[in-house]
Amino acid sequence: NAGVMQNPRHLVRRRGQEARLRCSPMKGHSHVYWYRQLPEEGLKFMVYLQKENIIDESGMPKERFSAEFPKEGPSILRIQQVVRGDSAAYFCASSPVSGYHEQYFGPGTRLTVT
Amino acid sequence: GENVEQHPSTLSVQEGDSAVIKCTYSDSASNYFPWYKQELGKGPQLIIDIRSNVGEKKDQRIAVTLNKTAKHFSLHITETQPEDSAVYFCAASGGAGGTSYGKLTFGQGTILTVHP
């Protein structure tokens, strides 16, 4: 059973460009979470999605960031008009059900904004 | 919202010694407490977790204890080995229910170094 897949693993963008980060959950998992890890810091929750639904986006910046988890295909975290402060590691996690259940993390996408 | 504090931020031990990392949380409604190990350049790996109806859980050299009254939980690693060296994160989940259900709030992390 393959784990959580994320791509790309490394992404370099110039200021003002768009970044698209993809996450394929573990087989059988229908709940996806995105977290951001700034250098030397812990992980911060961004958004929680189920298929075709955003359940909790309380950790998402109000502007430039959006997320989706379509019926078919991976979950996408999209950052428009990136700025240097967006440079971080972005991790996706998946779980089979919601609530008090294990979340399994992918290897992350390391975004560098130049 | 939930706030999780983790101590110490760095921990250095000799191989074979025990290591203890402690976390406190603020939301008494939190019910799920996982621990993750993160190696350099990798994603967090779930190593053990505990739910609020249990006071202690053990898996080989790793154990976690939970004190709901005091709102703190701890990770214990016995007979440490150099390969245990990594960053360890505690987290809490559950909270007030509703949309916070499932969202993990992480501690700041502990850099554990095990010297051979």
Closest CA–CA distance from residue A72 to any residue of chain B (Å): 23
Tally Cβ neighbours within 10 Å of residue B63: 17
Looking at residue A1, what is its pLDDT? 54
Q: Which residue of B has its CA nearest to A108?
A: B43
pLDDT tops 80 at residue B96: no
Q: Is A86 left (phi over 0), alpha (psi -120 to 50) or beta?
A: alpha
Per-10-residue mean pLDDT of chain A, 114 residues long, equals 90 98 93 91 92 92 96 96 96 80 92 97
Q: Judge contact between A77 and A91, C-beta under 8 A.
A: no
Position B95 confidence tier, pLDDT thresholds 50, 70, 90: low
The pLDDT tens digits of the residues spanning B25-82 come to: 999 888 899 999 999 989 999 999 998 877 999 999 999 999 999 999 999 999 999 9
Q: Is A29 left (phi over 0), alpha (psi -120 to 50) or beta?
A: beta
Q: Mapping DSSP to helix (H, G, I), strand (E, B) and coil, where does residue A73 land?
A: coil
> Angle at the Cα of B75 (from A25 to B53), degrees rounded to 5?
75
**Which stretches of chain B sit within 8 Å of chain A by CB?**
6, 31-32, 34, 36, 42-46, 49, 51, 89, 93-94, 99-109
Looking at residue A98, what is its pLDDT? 62
Q: Which residue of A has its CA nearest to B48?
A: A102
Q: Is A69 on the interface with B (CB under 8 A)?
A: no
User: Which residue in A42, A107, A108 is closest to B109 by CB distance?
Assistant: A42
User: Which residue in B44, B51, B93 is closest to A105 by CB distance?
Assistant: B44
Q: Judge contact between A29 and A75, C-beta under 8 A.
A: no
> What is the Cα Rg of chain A in Å?
13
Looking at residue A2, what is its pLDDT? 76
> CA A59 to CA A15: how far, in whole Å?
22
